[in-house]
Amino acid sequence: MELRSKVALVTGAGSGIGRASALTLAEAGAVVGVLGHTRSELEKTAAEIEAIGGTAVLLEADVADEASMRSSISTLIETSGRLDIVIANAGINGVWAPIDDLKPEEWDQTIRVNLRGTYLTLNVSVPYLKRHGGSVVVVSSINGNRTFSTPGATAYAATKAAQVAIVQQLALELGRHRIRVNAVCPGAIETDINDNTKVRGKDETAVPVEYPAGDIPITGGKSGESEDVASVILFLASDQSRHVTGTPVYVDGGQGLLR
Ligand code: NAD
């Protein structure tokens, strides 16, 4: 298995892309720290990893809270001895609303989870990656990079664009430590994320476009699955991608090219 003897951290591992990535990395032989803020979800992911013969370390933390991130990553190092792979995945859609209706506290919450959360994940884990080199994958989006047409998603798109900027900046900064830093930019993927999305004033923000045969060319319109993203994350986490750094990889079935 290509990740045998490696230790990975996956944030937002309780559902969707994070859960699928945690399982895929565990299947490839990595010990996986499954981090998130909902213990019941993490217990399920950890049990699924153990059911396939893998090893999971359950880490309950809010990615935007420094103290809980520091203590979780310390726990992972104490239990597993090292850190090689970091998947900064936890994120929210937040509130999608017209810019003159979006409340400052709603803006702050999206920035807090998606951007402060990504920063803290890297701030706390990079010292351990520097010991032996490693691979970081940030889960960004087509939003803010290839597409700007999701109604009212200004705060979300801003965080997703910033994540790709962070990846490119850090690919240069951390190359000397043999740490590669890449992003995946998924299109529409079937997960729980829409359950936690609040949309207001869509009539005002929607862009009037219609696609004749579905807006995801490779599937005829059907959303992707978390496993479609997880397999690209495995590639970026492994030595198979050893000469790839500072790169966003679109996992959108061509969706973003239509916008
Ligand atoms: P999801 O809601 O299924 O999973 C997100 C996970 O993150 C959940 O387990 C949740 O508990 C956790 N989380 C949220 N806030 C947290 C916090 N403050 N601290 C710790 N954990 C927290 O959603 P998903 O679709 O799997 O999203 C994962 C990532 O993929 C996000 O960054 C999202 O922006 C990105 N993405 C998703 C899609 C899509 O269509 N689903 C498309 C592009 C990008």
Task: Write the secondary structure of 17-43 as one string of H (helix), E (strand) and C (coil).
Answer: HHHHHHHHHHHCCCEEEEEECCHHHHH
Extract the tokens encoding 38: 């909902």
Residue 138 falls inside a structural domain? yes
Which residue, among 139, 132, 179, has the nearest Cα to 159 in the 3D structure? 139
> Which residues fall within 8 angstroms of residue 123, CB to CB, at 6 or more apart?
none
Which residue, among 76, 64, 51, 49, has the nearest Cα to 115 in the 3D structure? 64
| Choice from 34, 59, 111, 191 to test ligand 1 binding pocket (greatest atom count within 8 A of CB) | 191
Residue 36 falls inside a structural domain? yes
Residue 215 falls inside a structural domain? yes
| Choice from 10, 11, 17 to test ligand 1 binding pocket (greatest atom count within 8 A of CB) | 17
Give how many domains the chain has, as a whole number: 1
**CATH code: domain of residue 119:** 3.40.50.720
As beta bridge partners, residue 139 has 184
What are the C-alpha distances in Å from 174 to residues 4, 167, 217, 240? Answer: 24, 10, 36, 19
Give nearest CA residue, ligand 1 atom 39.
Answer: 189
Taking the C-alpha atoms of residue 257 and residue 145, their distance in angstroms, rounded to an integer, is: 11
Q: What is the mean pLDDT of residues 78-83?
A: 98
Residue 186 falls inside a structural domain? yes
* Count of other CB atoms within 10 angstroms of residue 119: 16
Which residue, among 239, 175, 189, 216, has the nearest Cα to 89 in the 3D structure? 189
pLDDT value for 194: 84
Taking the C-alpha atoms of residue 99 and residue 157, their distance in angstroms, rounded to an integer, is: 13
How far is C-alpha 89 from the geometric centre of its chain's CA atoms?
Answer: 2
User: Which atom of ligand 1 approaches the CA of 140 most closely?
Assistant: 44
Residue 192 falls inside a structural domain? yes
**Mean of the per-residue pLDDT values for the chain?**
96
Q: How confident is the model over 18-69, as pLDDT tens digits? A: 999 999 999 999 999 999 999 999 999 999 999 999 999 999 999 999 999 9
Q: What is the mean pLDDT of residues 114-142?
A: 98
Residue 199 falls inside a structural domain? yes
Residue 177 falls inside a structural domain? yes
pLDDT value for 18: 98
pLDDT value for 258: 84
Q: How confident is the model over 86-110, as pLDDT tens digits? A: 999 999 999 999 999 999 999 999 9
Residue 1 falls inside a structural domain? no
Asked whether 253 lines ligand 1 (CB < 6 A), one says no
Q: Is the pTM of this model over 0.95?
A: yes
Boundaries of domain holding 243 = 7-258
Q: How confident is the model over 208-259, as pLDDT tens digits? A: 666 555 689 999 899 999 999 999 999 999 999 999 999 999 999 999 998 6
